[in-house]
Amino acid sequence: MLLEITDGTVSRGGRAVLSHFDFAVRGTEKIAIVGRNGAGKTTLLQLLAGDLELDANEKNPSSGMRTARKLTVSMLRQTGHFEPGQTLAGALGISSIYAEILPEPDLLRKRTECDRLLTGFGFRKEDKYRPAETFSGGEQEKLAMIRLFLEEADLLLLDEPTNHLDMETTEWLESWLHAYKKAVIIVSHDRFFLDRTADVIYEIEAGSLTRYPGSYTRYRQEKQAQYQRQKKAWEQQQEEIRRLQALIARFKNRPNKAAFARSRQKILDRMVPVQKPAEDNARIRTEELLPLHRGSKWVFEAEDLQIGYPGGFRLTVDIRIRRGQKLALLGPNGSGKTTFLRTLAGLQQPLKGRLSVGGHTDLAYFDQNSAALEAEGDVLSWFRERFPSLTEQEARSRLAGYLFTGKDARRQVNALSGGEKARLVLAAILEERPNVLLLDEPTNHMDLPARETIESILQAYRGTLVVISHDRYFIRQTAESLLLFSADGIRAFAFGYEQYVNWKKDREAAGGEADAASLRAARTIREQAMLESFQAVPGRSHLPGALPTEELARDWRLRELERDMQEAAETYACAEQAVQEMLLRDPDAADAQEEARRHRDEAQAAWTESCLQWYEEFRSFHLQ
């Protein structure tokens, strides 16, 4: 155990921020701290950094913070950094390692690591001799991070490390942290970053900490599963309480049944209450969201389509978008993503070429101007004006799916935040049930519960989706394939964002823009085996080039889902066997049997879900 806190409490201004909590860092764990704004995440980091101390706890002598040895701790701080006149090398404390002498092995390693960090964060070699004060605020934040990393502390504390990083640099940082051989604790709102770096999640809620092993996504899944289990247990107990109360009320005044009524009252009195679970801040949609009309097989077809502006930016597009596809547009600012989306929406005329739109296409477009909503009246009234056929209860139910519950439905529209207005506009758009959604940064200014709510809605949506977003987790959750925008044009990538990140790493390992043979050689063993398996399928005798095709991606996904089905079936079989063995080995261990049955039921549910996912993919593949 590198560090351990037992029964700790931290207060600010006489108020306990974290109360009677346990926390541990084991070995070289990469830990993420999550929770709502103001929950105490930064307070915990400051405690670990030595800026705060635990409250005295005389009632528990074993409470406090303990370490396995004397630790070095470094924390990334979000304040100004460098003295006037310092060069970059001087500000980082690395001037000596660049002295014009033959360096010792340790200095050579330090120099190599420094160069790697500077390059990874986008600096040039000659920048080492620039005055640190001449760099922008964002660049100085990067330099502060480099200085921190060069300290090579036993415990690295990072508070929002990706705030000033572009997507490429963030991906580089993910790889660096993964390879860092010491412990790291991270606070970040970048969920994809947490998924790629953290192997343990600590959630701060109501002043206490809960440890979840695994990634951020796994934590959210486990949190949802716990909520559903506790909700079911609470509902069952409430039903039992109502049943007992009804029996007591029915028989307590009957002489020949009074003893029975008293016995039911004793059962009720001895019942240990099941706590009602707190509602999850996100509203996760599970039922399908079907468009009103199915639409044509091909939604958009572009041939020699030139988009842009006369005398300015131009981009040529040749592409077909199929019904039901979910695409994300990736590329640097100014690469044409919004221009392309506006052209598809008919808001901007192409310069030349052909763009055809499929029949029965009901198109909805959302951009940042859509969320600049100015309207008199409250949320419920605004929504019902657009959908007068809905009763008030039906309208409230629809709005609740977008987190406008209870009193929120009576808030004035003009008093909503930008993220809340965006949610309201999206609620109205999706209530129309279009079969094509074009979304430009739909989750800007939304908090995490709102983003997760919108993600679940778009996952349930069965129409065509084309979306622009800088939120990589949002892209991964909603898009099945990508369009990559660059100065060279648009390229299609038929898998999701996580596969794209891995593909880029393979390409870099193969020497950048290598030929198709080099790219195939750089693929992982697992990917190569799957690609080779396609050669045995009639009509699939070719290997793909640098980017996989849409048809190949469909085949790949079906094979992946088949593998998931098989693994889920095996897990269920093992869980069922464990239940039977438990009954034979220890028939009186009721608690252990119940836990084994719970794992068995969860495995069975996962198996059923994997079968349904395979069937849905198979059906959509063959019906389109």
What CATH code is carried by the domain that includes residue 118? Answer: 3.40.50.300
- Whether 401 shows a pLDDT value over 60: the answer reads yes
For residues 586 and 509, state if they share a domain: no
In a domain, 103, yes or no: yes
How buried is residue 507: exposed, middle or buried, by Cβ count under 10 Å (0-12/13-18/19+)? middle
For residues 448 and 570, state if they share a domain: no
Range of the domain at 453: 298-525
The mean per-residue pLDDT over the stretch 405-433 comes to: 94
The mean per-residue pLDDT over the stretch 104-120 comes to: 82
If pLDDT is split at 50, 70 and 90, which confidence band does 100 have?
low
Per the CB < 8 A criterion, the answer to whether 449 and 281 are in contact is yes
Q: Which of 343, 354, 357 is nearest to 296 (CA)?
A: 357
Q: Choose between 204 and 582: higher pLDDT.
A: 204
If pLDDT is split at 50, 70 and 90, which confidence band does 180 have?
very high
In a domain, 542, yes or no: no
For residues 214 and 244, state if they share a domain: no
In a domain, 540, yes or no: no
| Confidence at residue 523, expressed as pLDDT on a 0 to 100 scale | 40
For residues 97 and 11, state if they share a domain: yes
| Confidence at residue 551, expressed as pLDDT on a 0 to 100 scale | 58
For residues 424 and 501, state if they share a domain: yes
In a domain, 275, yes or no: no
For residues 140 and 177, state if they share a domain: yes
The mean per-residue pLDDT over the stretch 596-609 comes to: 84
SS3 of residue 508 by DSSP: helix
| Confidence at residue 108, expressed as pLDDT on a 0 to 100 scale | 76
For residues 325 and 458, state if they share a domain: yes
Strands of the sheet containing 298-308, edge to edge, are 314-322, 298-308, 352-357
For residues 167 and 250, state if they share a domain: no
For residues 238 and 200, state if they share a domain: no
Among 138-147, 202-211, 342-351, the minimum mean pLDDT is found in 138-147
In a domain, 538, yes or no: no
Q: Choose between 302 and 78: higher pLDDT.
A: 302
The mean per-residue pLDDT over the stretch 125-143 comes to: 84
If pLDDT is split at 50, 70 and 90, which confidence band does 403 have?
very high
Cα distances (Å, whole numbers) of residue 61 to 17, 20, 66, 67, 435: 21, 13, 13, 16, 64
If pLDDT is split at 50, 70 and 90, which confidence band does 552 have?
low
The whole-chain average pLDDT of the chain stands at 85
- Token code pair at residue 551: 């048809």
For residues 577 and 518, state if they share a domain: no
Q: Indicate the number of domains in the chain.
A: 4
| Confidence at residue 512, expressed as pLDDT on a 0 to 100 scale | 54
Cα–chain center distance at 578: 33
Instruction: Determine which helix (DSSP H) or strand (DSSP E) holds 212, and give its type and residue range.
Output: strand 208-213
Domain termination residue (choose one: 484, 509, 525) = 525
In a domain, 88, yes or no: yes
- Whether 522 shows a pLDDT value over 60: the answer reads no
In a domain, 289, yes or no: no
| Confidence at residue 433, expressed as pLDDT on a 0 to 100 scale | 96
For residues 97 and 191, state if they share a domain: yes
In a domain, 276, yes or no: no
Q: What percentage of the chain reaches a pLDDT higher than 90?
A: 50
Q: What are the backbone dihedrals phi and psi of residue 63, each rounded to the nearest 5 degrees, phi first? A: -75, 160
Q: Choose between 207 and 80: higher pLDDT.
A: 207
- Whether 516 shows a pLDDT value over 60: the answer reads no
| Confidence at residue 16, expressed as pLDDT on a 0 to 100 scale | 93
The mean per-residue pLDDT over the stretch 483-495 comes to: 85
For residues 48 and 187, state if they share a domain: yes
Instruction: Tell me the pLDDT tens digit for each residue of 230-240.
Output: 999 999 999 99
Judging by DSSP bridges, how do beta strands 15-25 and 489-493 pair with one another? unpaired
